[in-house]
Amino acid sequence: MEIHILNGDALKEQFPPSISGEIIVMRECLVDGQPRGDSLEQLLDNRMEFFAKIYGVTAEDYRRKTIPEIERIRRIPATARVNLWFEDDLFCQVNLWFTSFLLSEFTQVADVRLVRPEGPIQYGFGGMDQPALIKAYESAQTIDGDELEQMTRLWQCYQRGEHATMTGIAARYQARLPFLVEAVKAERERYPEDDRPGRPQRTIRALMEELGSEQFGPVFRAFHERESIYGYGDLQVRRLFDAVKAGRS
């Protein structure tokens, strides 16, 4: 049995039909909002509350679209081969770490592979045609039990904000998992330090000045190009943009 866990519905829409297997979609953006919870159930309750408060997503929608896919991951049989289709940006990486946690904590799966996109980080799988996606699948990297455990630890440290431990894990596994270093660095730099705003806020402020504009569209496009490591969509950048703009007025 072969299973493909995709980070979002966009990849599902372009997924090559010649690649057989069951598709599960991770419909979360754990890089945004509260990741805390003493149990999976509490985490999901916190996420429902966050989406309702910030984005107007109802609990019913979250229960209907997101939770069933998470439950499907928890029920993956031990004999399955699991292909993790995740990009290198922080948005995807946090979801990958969470998915690794689900596999480690709730399944006995041993055959795990990581499928990563080729080309510039800002394009990801979205910049690949079907032959390129097939090639990426055929070139998937085997993830052994220790590596899966370390990505699980990254999720747990991410929940607790333990950036020093995350940096150490990324450094120790740089040879096999080189993409972790930049993702963890981007995570660490998201937060204010010594009265300086976090890196995304500083970049947005700098772009407003460089472009001579407080219009969201131009700033969003420039942010996406300059800070593609974050993988933020328009909703995440809009929240940051509005906060920076309010601070300038």
Full DSSP string of 132-165: HHHHHHHTPEEE-HHHHHHHHHHHHHHHHT-HHH
193 occurs within a structural domain: no
- Sequence-separated (6 or more) residues with CB below 8 Å from residue 131: none
Domain check: are 26 and 57 in the same one? yes
Domain check: are 217 and 177 in the same one? no
Domain range spanning residue 209? Answer: 199-248
SS3 247: helix
SS3 116: coil
17 occurs within a structural domain: yes
Q: Which amino acid is at 163?
A: H
The CA dihedral of 12, 15, 19, 21, to the nearest 10 degrees, is 0
Note down pLDDT in tens along the chain; length 249 residues.
999 999 999 999 999 999 999 999 999 999 999 899 999 999 999 999 999 999 999 999 999 999 999 999 999 999 999 999 999 999 999 999 999 999 999 999 999 999 999 877 777 998 899 999 999 999 999 999 999 999 999 999 999 999 999 999 999 999 999 999 999 999 999 999 888 999 999 999 999 999 999 999 999 999 999 999 999 999 999 999 999 988 864
Residue 59, domain CATH: 3.40.1360.10
Domain check: are 173 and 213 in the same one? no
Euclidean distance between CA atoms 1 and 72, whole angstroms: 14
Domain check: are 82 and 137 in the same one? yes
194 occurs within a structural domain: no
If one counts the domains in the chain, the total is 2
Euclidean distance between CA atoms 120 and 132, whole angstroms: 14
pLDDT at 248: 64
Q: Which of 188, 207, 229 is the last residue of a domain?
A: 188
Domain check: are 143 and 23 in the same one? yes
Domain check: are 203 and 157 in the same one? no
Domain check: are 53 and 153 in the same one? yes
Domain check: are 220 and 104 in the same one? no
Is 77 buried (19+), middle (13-18) or exposed (0-12) by CB count in 10 A? exposed
Q: Which of 188, 221, 240 is the last residue of a domain?
A: 188
- Sequence-separated (6 or more) residues with CB below 8 Å from residue 118: 128, 132, 135, 136
Helix (H) or strand (E) holding 115: strand 111-115
207 occurs within a structural domain: yes
pLDDT at 120: 72
